[in-house]
Amino acid sequence: MGILKASKIKKVYGKKLFAQEVLKGIDLEVESGEFVGIMGPSGSGKTTLLNVLCSIDRPTEGIVEINGQSLQKMKSKQLSTFRRTEMGFIFQDYNLLDTLTVKENILLPLSVGKTSKQEAETRCQQLAKQLGIQDILKKYPNEISGGQKQRTAAARALIIQPSIVFADEPTGALDSKSASALLESLGTLNKTNHVTIMMVTHDPVAASYCSRVLFLKDGQIYTQVYKGDKTRTQFFQEIMKTQGVLGGDGYEA
């Protein structure tokens, strides 16, 4: 079943003479339970695509549907509610609220809405256990490490049991050990909880945890590779190869 369906997405910045087409008509479909990576050189429109797909930004043209509902037909307030109930977000710089404890940060998306307290508590404890942060629930963000922060952010994204999770360079600010721990957790959650994840990354290692990787170039989908039955290492090599063909340095933000 298709969770996310995007057709003919165009995004133009600036006006008339100075117009710059960042996305040039992208068609995309994501099935339930997929772990999709988006890769591409700087300026290829990765983050813009993600922002458009997750309704933070509006496309100039084209339609995005999530769970069969068109985002373009919704008003800003409806979109907010839709984001809060259907989508989870993980950002590169964590975006945790410094004034809240880890637990309060995780429970934040439920602060408006009808989820019962027991239900929220159970979900929170379960996610904390799965992500290995149950010991730091009472701490503040400035008392924990970057990896722990990002796992907190992941828990916050998942607490609402979203249809889809959007992750924008989630490992960008992490060291390789924390990064692989986080990706490991995301991979497990993807498999056990059937969470659909869409992740923008420039890191081939991170991308190798995905089930499918899209390559963007100059605002268009250049190609995509599937993991299929390959091992992670094999998949990683395939990604590297594609990136080589694509050209451009993959190692910039």
> Rule CB under 8 A: is residue 66 a binding residue for another protein?
no
| Cα gap 82→17, rounded to integer Å | 35
Whole-number minimum distance, CB 5 to another protein, in Å? 20
Cα 23–chain centre separation: 18
Whole-Å CA distances, 169 to 27, 136, 203: 22, 24, 9
> Rule CB under 8 A: is residue 110 a binding residue for another protein?
yes
> Rule CB under 8 A: is residue 101 a binding residue for another protein?
yes
Q: How far apart are the first and last CA of the chain?
A: 33
> Rule CB under 8 A: is residue 114 a binding residue for another protein?
no
Q: Long-range contact list for 10-17, CB < 8 A, 24+ apart?
A: 10/59, 10/60, 10/61, 10/62, 11/45, 11/48, 11/49, 11/52, 11/57, 11/59, 11/60, 11/219, 12/60
Position among 3, 36, 66, 87 found at the interface with another protein (CB under 8 A): 87
> Rule CB under 8 A: is residue 234 a binding residue for another protein?
no
Position among 7, 25, 65, 82 found at the interface with another protein (CB under 8 A): 82
Nearer to another protein, 23 or 124 (CB): 124
Given the rule CB under 8 A, which residues bind another protein? 56, 76-77, 80-85, 87, 89, 91, 95-101, 103-104, 106-112, 117, 120-121, 124, 137, 140, 142-143, 156-157
